[in-house]
Amino acid sequence: MSQQGLEALLRPQSIAVIGASPRPERAGYLMMRNLLGGGFSGSVLPVTPKYKAVCGVMAWPDVASLPFAPDLAVICTHSRHNLLLLEALGKCGCKACIILSSPASQREALRACASQWQIRLLGPNSLGLLAPWQGLNASFSPVPIGKGKLAFISQSAAVSNTILDWAQQRQLGFSWFIALGDSLDIDVDDLLDFLARDGKTSAILLCLEQLSDARRFVSAARSAARNKPVLVIKSGRSHQARQLLGTGGLDGAWDAAIQRAGLLRVQDTHELFSAVETLSYMRPLRGERLMIISNGAAPAALALDALDARGGKLATLSEDLRATLQSLLPEEIRVGNPLDLKDDATVERYHQAVSLLLASHDIDALLVIYAPSAVAPATLTAQRVIDAVADHPRGKQIALLTNWCGEFSAPEARRYFSEAGIPTYRTPEGATTAFMHMVAYRRNQKQLRETPALPADLALNTAEAHQLIRQALEQGITTLDTHEVHGILQAYGLITLPTWIASDSAEAVQIASQAGYPVALKLRSPDVAHKSDVQGVMLYLRSASEVQQAAEAIIDRVKRTLPQARIDGLLVQSMANRAGAQELRIVVEHDPVFGPVIMLGEGGTEWLTEQQAAMALPPLNMALARYLIIQAIKNGKIRSRGSLSGLDIAGLSQVLVQVSNLIVDCPEIVRLDIHPLLAAGETFSLLDVTMQLAAFHGDPEARLAIRPYPHHLEETVKLKSGESLLFRPILPEDEPLLRQFITRVTKEDLYYRYFSEINEFTHDDLANMTQIDYDREMAIVAVRPQQQEIVGVTRAISDADNADAEFSVLVRSDLKGQGLGRELLEKMIDYARQHGLQQLNGITMPGNRGMIALARKLGFSVNIQLEDGIVTLSLALKTG
């Protein structure tokens, strides 16, 4: 299915209403009324055998009799007719369809029929869609909406209706309002790809309950979020709520996916309304420094508490600004932040303060709070603030938020702010929360672009780990303990304490005497999930008699309390030095929506996953691992203790990266539990580890929500000069190498590549080039392994349908003529074929003769357009 079919749904030129009716209680009547009343300029074709005309428009008795194929059809009849109608629409050439309702038993047949006829489906159980800029109301909503810059996508009809009603009351507009229903075909990722390119949409709000394809969602969301803010409300935080919705998995995995894609999650319906207000009106933040002014200390204190709870920053005022403010304000007012203008603040005092603060470079955002006052009428004060912003040259540079309190005197003032495009909120906390939404979004985007460092010493022996896992599975072993996983973990540089297996107390004594005291004894039993339940762990045993007594006591307790439990002996382990150390826990579990999830928390007994663990999705790099640790600390999942030496964040980041690499490379690992990981300075020891295995068949990458680094594309290539280069996909860690590479490319060659003179590439530019989504883009670099320098890059960015890709090639200017450009482009052509692309396209200039000649040699069609000063290159790829 393609984005082209999506155009027919979202920008139709003609719409057929199947089951149109003049009877007001019928869905077919409501759809006709909304289409005609919304101002749709295209053709509306009612289809019904019962009436000659509906709502004054001539009707057609059936689909086959329509004068031409409609772009979009809306089926408003009983669901038992769906399949026959969909097939008829397919035969007549219809490209898209909205289905009002369908039983679950019909879903697969509908999907197959739509696929056969290449029809895009919205629904079933969809409220429909509204596109105010086109005058399109192809929905069953009784409430119309105005034009705006916010796109809203919802899987919930109830939430959709609520938002529509609220927006109508606030006179808030939308660019698109789309109710997905059950997402049988068209899903969130399709719409994100469309809206990311839509010029009428400046921000996107998602209301989600479930996903059918996590990989597609994360990929599309990440792409969209690089262009415009995307906010998400996801119902089902609690286990009970997920049961009610029929969705499984971990809520923390949703958080991890949303953060990884660079989106922002809002927590509840109240925050959702604030988010709509914020995205509709608020200007992008240039920084996080907030200034608060109010006509009372109490409202300002409420805003300050909310800011502090969310980790916000108050602006620090310079001495010059303080002095200027003080000269304009009464002596009894103490200048600070928040700035209390006092309850006798006049309209003019508000105007002066706002105007002065707008001129300051000390602040990035300004929150103006107003409590009802007889001295300064609400509406008049609001108008003066609006005038101050409109008249000031920096009025569009400072992010302004307003909070006009009260329900009697304030509504008109809030309406004035909305009409002026200034976000306004009913409470100080609501305004501060809205500000922190934008701060969190800005931080998420900044963290996504942070350049990761390569780990200092990353051990990797994938073949060894695969062999050990294969041996275990061949022997029927699916649960491995610390002793058995030692080799697998060691292949990835993870250190376990020396561990031995003893069959009874006598053997335990013998092993302990050879290993050296003190030792720990631990029960081995597949039937005892938690050793602590039967006191199955004994620590700091310092003599043979202590080991013997402890071993016998453990075995006796199990036989007495759990007589059916199988006992596979005891683990004897050297005691780790726990003085000043911290016990952490790392667990990897498979989430039904997002695949493997890495969790980090504190060691100890059982933990409640949602409450006690921070989560991230693999693959991790050092920057993402560091973010996971900091998130765990900030959210209290890992507590700092005064007696402990500081946690080595870089060292723990490396452990997490190694765990991530293990999980990505070994799909047979379905669960990994490191309990605990002992952190002592720079040393990280895995004391107890449990690993669960299962045979795996199929594509190992398919289970991951984010496509990992494609190792299989690495290749050594020999140039004409005899020099050998490593061709490999680009890495996020390559930013410094890429910057250095660009300095060795002439301005002329850069001009041919980018069609403009570029004096400098910013960090954000380079981050976008190196931190790519391997599902949608590929960049292959030619690297001199010894010098660790990039000497050439080829890149291809595919469209949302993975059909066509734009390619480019850039070679270091002093290395031209060695065949490097050809080798790179041939590598990219091979990749494009393997990736299922149908065509490679490129653009260059007539003066770039070397590129044009190379393209011709490799079979590209070359179209020189001298009047436009460009040359288009295209290569059809025969796949399969």
Distance, in Å, from the CA atom of 400 to the CA atom of 354, rounded to the nearest integer, reads 10
Distance, in Å, from the CA atom of 729 to the CA atom of 795, rounded to the nearest integer, reads 10
The answer on 690 and 604 residing in a single domain is: yes
Distance, in Å, from the CA atom of 413 to the CA atom of 415, rounded to the nearest integer, reads 5
Question: Starting from the edge strand earliest in sequence, which strands make up the sheet with 72-75, in order?
Answer: 43-47, 14-18, 72-75, 96-99, 120-122
User: Which tens digits make up the pLDDT trace of 832-852?
Assistant: 999 999 999 999 999 899 999
Maximal CA-CA distance, the chain: 99
Distance, in Å, from the CA atom of 464 to the CA atom of 574, rounded to the nearest integer, reads 25
Q: Would you give the DSSP letter of residue 484?
A: H
Continuous H helices in 124-238: 157-170, 188-196, 214-225
Q: Which amino acid is present at 410?
A: A
The answer on 661 and 732 residing in a single domain is: no
The answer on 443 and 353 residing in a single domain is: yes
What would the mean pLDDT of 800-817 be, rounded to a whole number?
91
User: Which tens digits make up the pLDDT trace of 603-629?
Assistant: 865 677 777 899 999 999 999 999 999
The answer on 838 and 799 residing in a single domain is: yes
Domain that residue 382 falls in: 283-448
The answer on 410 and 400 residing in a single domain is: yes
The answer on 120 and 5 residing in a single domain is: yes
Indicate whether 40 belongs to any domain. yes
Tokens of 99: 């289905």
Residue with token string 């209390």: 340
Distance, in Å, from the CA atom of 880 to the CA atom of 878, rounded to the nearest integer, reads 7
Instruction: Please provide the average confidence, as pLDDT, over all residues in the chain.
Output: 90
> How many CB atoms lie under 10 A from the CB of residue 88?
19
Q: Provide the pLDDT confidence category of residue 811 given band limits of 50, 70 and 90.
A: very high
Q: Are 194 and 129 in contact (CB under 8 A)?
A: no
Q: Between residues 576 and 386, which one has the greater pLDDT?
A: 386
Q: Between residues 676 and 459, which one has the greater pLDDT?
A: 676
The answer on 429 and 288 residing in a single domain is: yes
Distance, in Å, from the CA atom of 121 to the CA atom of 89, rounded to the nearest integer, reads 12
How much helix, strand and coil, in percent to the nearest 5, is found in the chain?
40, 25, 35
Continuous H helices in 122-176: 157-170
CA proximity to 300, closest of 397, 348, 366, 399: 366
The answer on 300 and 272 residing in a single domain is: no
Q: Is the pLDDT of residue 668 over 90?
A: yes
Q: Are 138 and 27 in contact (CB under 8 A)?
A: no
Indicate whether 73 belongs to any domain. yes
CATH number for 218:
3.40.50.261
The answer on 720 and 628 residing in a single domain is: no
Q: What are the φ and ψ backbone dihedral angles of 64, each rounded to 5 degrees? A: -60, -25
What pLDDT does 773 receive?
A: 94
Tokens of 229: 């803010």
Helix (H) or strand (E) holding 149: strand 146-154
What pLDDT does 108 receive?
A: 94
Angle of helix 378-391 relative to helix 411-419, nearest 10 degrees, comes to 20
User: Which tens digits make up the pLDDT trace of 78-132?
Assistant: 999 999 999 999 999 999 999 988 998 999 999 999 999 999 999 898 989 999 9
Distance, in Å, from the CA atom of 592 to the CA atom of 4, rounded to the nearest integer, reads 31
Total residue length of the chain: 880
Indicate whether 703 belongs to any domain. no
Q: Extract the runs of DSSP E, i.e. beta strands, from 374-417.
A: 399-404
Distance, in Å, from the CA atom of 713 to the CA atom of 727, rounded to the nearest integer, reads 8
Indicate whether 793 belongs to any domain. yes
The answer on 717 and 609 residing in a single domain is: no
Radius of gyration (Cα) for the chain, nearest Å? 32
> How many CB atoms lie under 10 A from the CB of residue 593?
19
Contacts of 4 (CB under 8 A, 6+ apart): 95, 801
Of 63, 95, 125, the residue at which a domain comes to its end is 125
Tokens of 797: 């960015």
Angstrom distances, CA of residue 52 to CA of 55, 56, 59: 10, 9, 5
Indicate whether 482 belongs to any domain. no
Q: Are 98 and 122 in contact (CB under 8 A)?
A: yes
139-148, 655-664, 707-716: which has the minimum mean pLDDT? 139-148
21-35, 39-53, 187-201, 672-686: which has the minimum mean pLDDT? 672-686
Q: What are the φ and ψ backbone dihedral angles of 42, each rounded to 5 degrees? A: -85, -170
Residue with token string 């805003």: 303
Q: Provide the pLDDT confidence category of residue 641 given band limits of 50, 70 and 90.
A: low
Q: Which amino acid is present at 782?
A: A
Q: How many structural domains comprise the chain?
A: 6
Q: Is the pLDDT of residue 382 over 90?
A: yes
Q: Is the pLDDT of residue 643 over 70?
A: no
What pLDDT does 244 receive?
A: 55
Q: Which amino acid is present at 334?
A: R
Angstrom distances, CA of residue 264 to CA of 108, 235, 258, 272, 663: 33, 14, 7, 11, 27
What pLDDT does 593 receive?
A: 93
Indicate whether 577 belongs to any domain. no
What pLDDT does 483 receive?
A: 83
Distance, in Å, from the CA atom of 167 to the CA atom of 273, rounded to the nearest integer, reads 9
User: Which tens digits make up the pLDDT trace of 242-291?
Assistant: 565 556 678 899 999 999 999 988 887 778 778 777 877 778 888 999 99
Q: Is the pLDDT of residue 1 over 70?
A: no
What would the mean pLDDT of 206-212 be, rounded to a whole number?
89
Q: Is the pLDDT of residue 875 over 50?
A: yes
CATH number for 36:
3.40.50.720
Indicate whether 244 belongs to any domain. yes
> How many CB atoms lie under 10 A from the CB of residue 827?
18
Q: Is the pLDDT of residue 798 over 90?
A: yes
User: Which tens digits make up the pLDDT trace of 727-748?
Assistant: 999 999 999 999 999 999 998 8
Tokens of 556: 């006796």
CA proximity to 450, closest of 769, 764, 789: 764
CATH number for 758:
3.40.630.30
Of 101, 125, 149, the residue at which a domain comes to its end is 125
Report the phi/psi class of residue 38: left, alpha or beta, with left for phi > 0 and alpha for psi in -120 to 50: alpha
Q: Is the pLDDT of residue 236 over 60?
A: yes
User: Which tens digits make up the pLDDT trace of 482-534?
Assistant: 888 999 999 999 988 888 889 999 999 999 898 889 988 988 888 887 777 78
Q: Between residues 32 and 159, which one has the greater pLDDT?
A: 32
Q: Provide the pLDDT confidence category of residue 573 given band limits of 50, 70 and 90.
A: confident
Distance, in Å, from the CA atom of 387 to the CA atom of 385, rounded to the nearest integer, reads 5
The answer on 287 and 274 residing in a single domain is: no
Q: Provide the pLDDT confidence category of residue 596 given band limits of 50, 70 and 90.
A: very high
If you write DSSP's letter for every residue of 343-395 in order, what string do you get?
TT--HHHHHHHHHHHHT-SS-SEEEEEE---SSS-HHHHHHHHHHHHHHSTTT
Beta-bridge partner residues of 777:
797
* Cα dihedral 614→616→620→622 (10° resolution): -30
User: Which tens digits make up the pLDDT trace of 349-364?
Assistant: 999 999 999 999 999 9
Distance, in Å, from the CA atom of 420 to the CA atom of 390, rounded to the nearest integer, reads 9
* Cα dihedral 864→866→869→874 (10° resolution): -10
Q: Is the pLDDT of residue 781 over 50?
A: yes
Indicate whether 820 belongs to any domain. yes
The answer on 720 and 677 residing in a single domain is: no
CATH number for 694:
3.30.470.20
What would the mean pLDDT of 592-605 be, rounded to a whole number?
89
Of 515, 541, 572, the residue at which a domain comes to its end is 572
